[in-house]
Chain A
């Protein structure tokens, strides 16, 4: 492979975003051109990827061959290189293929709404690029980068209706949940790179190394690797909406339906499954793999299926079945780690992933279409077949696949999964029966949903009946009057195209095997059997399927579980939000008293406590330091007496003029002290400082009212106590610190290099004779630069404080604003 392969794949990743943004330059009215340009992006990606496979073949997972590296940020282990193995390549084809169909569907869905299409296509392209990046990136951190980009674009798309506060809230919910997962993923990746780098020099930062040459360096008993796995799995679980984080996915249904069909059923939510599949070859050796993923996936699968049955809004029904299916896929990878006759217990994982995308996206597409023309509430759709026959037929075809009926690829996928559970008895003993029961109940729910769809849409007896009207319509998003002509049919045709793939796989498994098998990592040699074959050679999984279908028909026609329930998990995010915002606001009001005194006392008590701890730990601190006699040097004594006396006088004197004089004389004694300590620079600066600050004080004291200090005697005693304790502590600290000190000191380096350099600095010196000045402007120049910036900001602050007096908020207004922001 040459570097051009990397460039081509980079183009493949970027094409949707670039062409999507290019539509912004088209005239607003050119809707057809806009659609075509936007369509070109995913189609180009699809084509480039196919061409890549044609030229280089599918990279085998045992020896993954990534494209040559183009340096981007080598220091951060973040470079451009792509890995088109079966899993990543399949996802790339899936994303770009469905992406193209969604571009067309969006045209049908939004109709002639120019403003919506103008905004939609760039965002969609942005998302498609992010998703392509996740699945094709070779550098793990590149995956993380694109991972976060999908969170952002998903946020933009869920909060599509910017005026709808509820939708915006749900967008935040999805963003924070998946964004949190992204953080964990990054932590996992960094930990993995660090752990594999210990003792080996360079760590593993590329999927191709982790899966290929470096696989041996991953020590599955290393706690760091285990933590790395747990963190990455957490990221995958939040993205793929596993319990208890699944709440964001039904919430994300606030997005326009093209988004739901694309992001929240077929692609983005599968990113977690994809990541699990990426990690599978290496991390499946961990015991934790099966122990975490199987129960988590199975529980999510069952719970979401039960909730789905108790919903009325079509999009919510399909959202929960999506969560259920994602649980199933995770569980599949979990079961895959179990041993079956010495092999990994996993078959046709890519077929199982593809299966879901090929029926779930059409279901959403038609749900949006029906919502447009009739309603999205299933109870309002009784007899919809008479009004929209084509849409209803497409939906029922997809619904049949949801029920995993024979003749669809979904049937085979379900069989593979049940087989995997059946095989698991070798490893997990009787627990397999629990799993089998969970899978069976899930299948019952799916079949029941299909039966209800069938009876309701066709208007047959047993269907859902109209109740009190609380419709969820898509009219808000769409056009007021329905469009006619060829473009109008785009609202359901993409669904039919996708769902037809289901029947290709189900009725002609040979063809499916031919297409998919090259991408499969865990394919059985004999290909996918036909449904007929399964019926001719019945096994336990088939019986379970048949029982589930019968049970599903009974439940679907029966009178139970027909209401719409509220998912308790929807409260998780609001509760967390309340806790952090309202709870934080309450804590703020308790801690932030606004009394300066309280803050100081908190700090001082903490300081004194730490000081006490240090003294207990190191009793040597209590030894009296060896010092000379106090009276050794009389000028020093005199200056010290003046400093102490003026300091003590300061709180006693009340007259402000005397106070200023005292302040000044204290400062001038400090100047003398600096002279004694042989610091002429300091003395000069302090002198000027004293002059200017005395002027300042005089000015300010004249501006301020002459109020007297009013404090009760008890308060004064208390202040005196804490003040003298702190003073003693600091004084003692000074004495102790002055006695200790290691050689050589940092100052020595500065002293030796201020003028001319030594060999240590390569002969470079500061070129100055005044060491203090050289330290300031040369050695510590950065510090000084920052300092003069602080000075400038302080001065600008003073200027602006006095500038526009009227426009400054008054005390009351400021308090109002603060409290409002706390309550919000």
Chain B
């Protein structure tokens, strides 16, 4: 399903990097400001789908060169792995750890929580699910 509109094509080329960047930003900052894995994933998926509408399936494949199924498995594995790590350390399932470290050339300490890795897993799953479903249905249409 492609919409051949030059306006859409050109504006998408501009908007897409910003949207993807914002999706990542929303996911990473989600622990402290509005955002999170679900939102980041949804934004990412929306951007990919809109890009597909304007540029076609081949372009989407260049942008996201793996089957969404793999993203789903990666995300689930990451979330499950993050939850299971505390078991190895003798803590209950899903216990989180927090801390902060200094990145080079910055003044502010970077605040992290292990739950962020979990959130990344959530995001991967959401992206995989949303993109996968839309792709599947539009393949049917073609």
Q: Given A680-B34, A688-B43, are A767 and B76 also a contact pair (CB < 8 Å)?
A: no
Q: Which B residues between 122 and 138 are near A, CB-CB below 8 angstroms?
A: 122, 125-126, 128-130, 132-134, 136-138
Q: Which of A680, A685, A696, A773 has the most CB of B within 10 A?
A: A773
Q: Does B31 belong to the interface (CB within 8 Å)?
A: yes
Report whether B69 and A776 are in contact in the complex, using a CB–CB cutoff of 8 Å.
Answer: no
Smallest CB–CB gap between A122 and chain B, Å? 37
Report whether A766 and B39 are in contact in the complex, using a CB–CB cutoff of 8 Å.
Answer: no
Report whether A770 and B32 are in contact in the complex, using a CB–CB cutoff of 8 Å.
Answer: yes
Count contacts on A: residues with CB < 8 A to the other chain: 40
Report whether A766 and B96 are in contact in the complex, using a CB–CB cutoff of 8 Å.
Answer: yes
Interface residues on B, range: 35 or more
Report whether B141 and A696 are in contact in the complex, using a CB–CB cutoff of 8 Å.
Answer: no
Report whether B122 and A788 are in contact in the complex, using a CB–CB cutoff of 8 Å.
Answer: yes
Report whether B35 and A692 are in contact in the complex, using a CB–CB cutoff of 8 Å.
Answer: no
Q: What separation, in Å, do the CA atoms of A772 and B96 have in the docked complex?
A: 16
Q: Collect the chain A residues with CB atoms within 8 Å of residue B33's CB.
A: 769-770
Report whether A792 and B36 are in contact in the complex, using a CB–CB cutoff of 8 Å.
Answer: no
Q: What separation, in Å, do the CA atoms of A791 and B124 have in the docked complex?
A: 11
Q: Given A685-B39, A791-B129, are A777 and B134 also a contact pair (CB < 8 Å)?
A: no
Q: Which B residues between 20 and 37 are near A, CB-CB below 8 angstroms?
A: 26, 30-37
Q: Collect the chain B residues with CB atoms within 8 Å of residue A691's CB.
A: 46, 49-50
Q: Which A residues between 663 and 720 are near B, CB-CB below 8 angstroms?
A: 680-681, 684-685, 688-689, 691-692, 695-696, 699-700, 702-703
Q: Which A residues between 773 and 813 are near B, CB-CB below 8 angstroms?
A: 773-774, 776-778, 781-782, 784-785, 788-789, 791-792, 794-796, 798-799, 802
Q: Collect the chain B residues with CB atoms within 8 Å of residue A772's CB.
A: 36
Q: Does A574 belong to the interface (CB within 8 Å)?
A: no
Report whether B115 and A768 are in contact in the complex, using a CB–CB cutoff of 8 Å.
Answer: yes
Q: Does A295 belong to the interface (CB within 8 Å)?
A: no
Interface class of chain B by DSSP: helix
Q: Does A765 belong to the interface (CB within 8 Å)?
A: yes
Q: What separation, in Å, do the CA atoms of A785 and B94 have in the docked complex?
A: 10
Q: What separation, in Å, do the CA atoms of A794 and B30 have in the docked complex?
A: 25
Q: What separation, in Å, do the CA atoms of A795 and B134 have in the docked complex?
A: 10
Smallest CB–CB gap between A792 and chain B, Å? 5
Our pick among B39, B72, B111, B137 for the contact of A681 (Cβ within 8 Å) is B39
Q: Does B12 belong to the interface (CB within 8 Å)?
A: no
Q: Which B residues between 100 and 142 are near A, CB-CB below 8 angstroms?
A: 111, 113, 115-116, 118-119, 121-122, 125-126, 128-130, 132-134, 136-141
Our pick among A685, A700, A770, A782 for the contact of B94 (Cβ within 8 Å) is A782
Q: What separation, in Å, do the CA atoms of A795 and B71 have in the docked complex?
A: 11
Report whether A781 and B38 are in contact in the complex, using a CB–CB cutoff of 8 Å.
Answer: no
Q: Which A residues between 439 and 484 are near B, CB-CB below 8 angstroms?
A: none
Report whether A792 and B76 are in contact in the complex, using a CB–CB cutoff of 8 Å.
Answer: yes
Smallest CB–CB gap between A685 and chain B, Å? 5
- Nearest to B124 among chain A residues (CB) is A788
Smallest CB–CB gap between A619 and chain B, Å? 42
Smallest CB–CB gap between B41 and chain A, Å? 9
Q: Given A681-B35, A699-B138, are A777 and B125 also a contact pair (CB < 8 Å)?
A: no
Q: Collect the chain A residues with CB atoms within 8 Å of residue B68's CB.
A: 795
Report whether B38 and A776 are in contact in the complex, using a CB–CB cutoff of 8 Å.
Answer: yes
Q: Does B16 belong to the interface (CB within 8 Å)?
A: no
Q: What separation, in Å, do the CA atoms of A770 and B40 have in the docked complex?
A: 14
Our pick among B36, B99, B126, B136 for the contact of A777 (Cβ within 8 Å) is B36
Q: Collect the chain B residues with CB atoms within 8 Å of residue A798's CB.
A: 132-133, 136-137
Report whether A788 and B76 are in contact in the complex, using a CB–CB cutoff of 8 Å.
Answer: yes
Our pick among B45, B79, B141 for the contact of A702 (Cβ within 8 Å) is B141
Smallest CB–CB gap between B68 and chain A, Å? 7
Q: What separation, in Å, do the CA atoms of A774 and B30 have in the docked complex?
A: 9
Q: Given A699-B138, A702-B141, A765-B98, are A684 and B34 also a contact pair (CB < 8 Å)?
A: yes
Report whether A770 and B31 are in contact in the complex, using a CB–CB cutoff of 8 Å.
Answer: yes
Report whether B96 and A688 are in contact in the complex, using a CB–CB cutoff of 8 Å.
Answer: no
Q: Does B85 belong to the interface (CB within 8 Å)?
A: no
Q: What separation, in Å, do the CA atoms of A437 and B26 have in the docked complex?
A: 89
Q: Does B60 belong to the interface (CB within 8 Å)?
A: no
Report whether A792 and B129 are in contact in the complex, using a CB–CB cutoff of 8 Å.
Answer: yes
Report whether A777 and B37 are in contact in the complex, using a CB–CB cutoff of 8 Å.
Answer: yes
Q: Collect the chain B residues with CB atoms within 8 Å of residue A700's CB.
A: 137
- Nearest to B49 among chain A residues (CB) is A695
Q: Collect the chain B residues with CB atoms within 8 Å of residue A703's CB.
A: 137, 140-141
Q: Given A688-B43, A788-B125, A795-B68, are A695 and B134 also a contact pair (CB < 8 Å)?
A: yes
Report whether B94 and A781 are in contact in the complex, using a CB–CB cutoff of 8 Å.
Answer: yes
Report whether B140 and A795 are in contact in the complex, using a CB–CB cutoff of 8 Å.
Answer: no
Q: Collect the chain B residues with CB atoms within 8 Å of residue A767's CB.
A: 31, 96, 98-99, 111, 113, 115
Report whether A784 and B122 are in contact in the complex, using a CB–CB cutoff of 8 Å.
Answer: yes
Smallest CB–CB gap between A365 and chain B, Å? 55
Q: What separation, in Å, do the CA atoms of A796 and B68 have in the docked complex?
A: 10
Q: What separation, in Å, do the CA atoms of A689 and B133 have in the docked complex?
A: 13
Report whether A692 and B83 are in contact in the complex, using a CB–CB cutoff of 8 Å.
Answer: no
Q: Given A681-B35, A768-B113, A778-B96, are A799 and B129 also a contact pair (CB < 8 Å)?
A: no
Report whether A774 and B31 are in contact in the complex, using a CB–CB cutoff of 8 Å.
Answer: yes
Report whether B137 and A699 are in contact in the complex, using a CB–CB cutoff of 8 Å.
Answer: yes
Report whether B35 and A789 are in contact in the complex, using a CB–CB cutoff of 8 Å.
Answer: no
Smallest CB–CB gap between A385 and chain B, Å? 72
Q: Collect the chain B residues with CB atoms within 8 Å of residue A799's CB.
A: 69, 132, 136
Report whether B49 and A692 are in contact in the complex, using a CB–CB cutoff of 8 Å.
Answer: yes
Report whether B38 and A685 are in contact in the complex, using a CB–CB cutoff of 8 Å.
Answer: yes
Q: Collect the chain B residues with CB atoms within 8 Å of residue A782's CB.
A: 93-94
Smallest CB–CB gap between A455 and chain B, Å? 75
Q: What separation, in Å, do the CA atoms of A767 and B100 have in the docked complex?
A: 10
- Nearest to B100 among chain A residues (CB) is A767
Our pick among B35, B69, B79, B93 for the contact of A770 (Cβ within 8 Å) is B35
Report whether B128 and A795 are in contact in the complex, using a CB–CB cutoff of 8 Å.
Answer: yes
- Nearest to A688 among chain B residues (CB) is B42
Smallest CB–CB gap between A504 and chain B, Å? 62
Q: What separation, in Å, do the CA atoms of A692 and B30 have in the docked complex?
A: 21
Smallest CB–CB gap between B43 and chain A, Å? 6
Q: Does B1 belong to the interface (CB within 8 Å)?
A: yes
- Nearest to B97 among chain A residues (CB) is A767
Q: Collect the chain B residues with CB atoms within 8 Å of residue A776's CB.
A: 36-38, 119, 122
Q: Collect the chain B residues with CB atoms within 8 Å of residue A792's CB.
A: 72-73, 75-76, 125, 128-129
Q: Collect the chain A residues with CB atoms within 8 Å of residue B137's CB.
A: 696, 699-700, 703, 798
Q: Collect the chain A residues with CB atoms within 8 Å of residue B64's CB.
A: none
Q: Mark B48-92, 1 if CB is under 8 A from A, else 0.
A: 011001000000000000001100110110011001000000000
Q: What separation, in Å, do the CA atoms of A776 and B98 have in the docked complex?
A: 16
Smallest CB–CB gap between A789 and chain B, Å? 7
- Nearest to B43 among chain A residues (CB) is A688
Q: Collect the chain A residues with CB atoms within 8 Å of residue B138's CB.
A: 699
Q: Collect the chain A residues with CB atoms within 8 Å of residue B75's CB.
A: 788, 792
Q: Mark B1-12, 1 if CB is under 8 A from A, else 0.
A: 100000000000
Our pick among B69, B111, B119, B129 for the contact of A773 (Cβ within 8 Å) is B119
- Nearest to B52 among chain A residues (CB) is A695
- Nearest to B72 among chain A residues (CB) is A792
Q: What separation, in Å, do the CA atoms of A802 and B142 have in the docked complex?
A: 13
Report whether A785 and B140 are in contact in the complex, using a CB–CB cutoff of 8 Å.
Answer: no
Report whether A795 and B119 are in contact in the complex, using a CB–CB cutoff of 8 Å.
Answer: no
Smallest CB–CB gap between B8 and chain A, Å? 13
- Nearest to A791 among chain B residues (CB) is B129
Could you show 20 A-B contacts with beta carbons less than 8 Å apart? Answer: A684-B35, A684-B43, A692-B46, A768-B31, A770-B31, A770-B32, A770-B33, A770-B35, A776-B122, A777-B122, A778-B113, A782-B94, A785-B79, A788-B75, A791-B72, A792-B125, A792-B129, A795-B129, A798-B137, A799-B69
| Inter-chain pairs besides A692-B49, A770-B34, A777-B37, 8 sampled, C-beta below 8 Å | A700-B137, A766-B113, A777-B122, A781-B83, A788-B79, A788-B121, A792-B128, A795-B128
B interface with A by C-beta (< 8 Å): 1, 26, 30-39, 42-43, 45-46, 49-50, 53, 68-69, 72-73, 75-76, 79-80, 83, 93-94, 96, 98-99, 111, 113, 115-116, 118-119, 121-122, 125-126, 128-130, 132-134, 136-141
Closest CB pairs A-B (n = 4): A767-B98, A688-B42, A769-B32, A768-B31
